[in-house]
Amino acid sequence: MRPAPLQLDFVQPVRRPLWLGLLLLALALGVAADLGKRWQDTREALQRMQASDSLLNTDRPRGKPVPAEYLDDHVKAAETVVRNLTLPWASLIETLEETGNQDVAVLQVQPDAQQRLLRMTGEARNQNALWQYVNSLAATRSLEEVHLLNHQVLQEDPQKPLQFSLQARIKAAP
C-alpha cells in the first residue's frame, strides 16, 4: 500500500460566498441594460435632430442651373403678356362698338401691343361706307393715324362688297 500523498500547502484558499458573485453579476447586468437603454434613446434623439435639421437646412444642393436662353425666352413671353394686358382694351372695344354701322362688318382685329398698332380687316357695302368708317375711326379719342392699307372688290360675291384692311395707332392711356 502506498501512503497517501502529503499536502504541504498550509495556506488554504479563502472561499467567498456564492451569493456575493451573483449579486455583482446582477448589478453589472442592470448597469449594462441601463446603458443600452440610454444609448438607444440617445441614438433616436440624434436621428430626430438630424431629420429636423435636414428640413431646416438651407444649404441643400441646388438643382441643375437653368440655361440663360430658357430664361430669356420666358422673360420675353412675360413682357409680351404684360404689354398685351396694358393695352386699353375697354376703350378699344368701346371705340369699335361706337363706330360700327350696318354697312361695315369688322371681320378681324389684331392688336400689336409692342408697336401699339391695331390692324383690322372687314367688309363694307360700298366705298362711301368704307370712307365714312375710316373717318369715324380717325375721329375717336383712342385711335390715331388711321390708314387704309388696301381694299378690293369681291367680284365673286353678288353684292360686290369691298374687302379692306386698315391700321391705326393706339393712343397711350392718359
Residue 125 belongs to some domain of the structure: yes
Q: Domain for residue 3, yes or no?
A: no
Phi-psi region of 145 (alpha: psi -120 to 50; beta: other; left: phi over 0): left
Provide the number of structural domains found in the chain: 1
Q: Which domain holds residue 161?
A: 82-170
Whether 77 is in a domain gets the answer: no
Does any domain span residue 95? yes
Q: What is the pLDDT of residues 2-49, one digit of tens each?
A: 888 877 777 777 777 888 889 999 999 999 999 999 999 999 999 998
Query: Is 70 exceeded by the pLDDT of residue 58?
Result: no
**Is 102 inside a domain boundary?**
yes
> What mean pLDDT is predicted for residues 155-167?
86
Q: Is residue 20 part of a domain?
A: no
Q: How far is CA 126 from CA 50, 64, 85, 94, 95, in A?
A: 82, 62, 35, 24, 22
- Phi, psi (rounded to 5 degrees) for 6: -90, 140
Which one has a higher pLDDT value, 4 or 56? 4
CATH number of the domain enclosing 98: 3.30.1360.100
41: amino acid identity, one letter: D
Residue 146 is assigned to a structural domain of this protein? yes
Query: Is residue 155, in this structure, part of any structural domain at all?
Result: yes
Q: What burial letters (b/e) apply to 135-156, b meaning 16+ CB within 10 Å?
A: ebbeebebbeebeeeebeeeee
The residue length of the chain stands at: 174
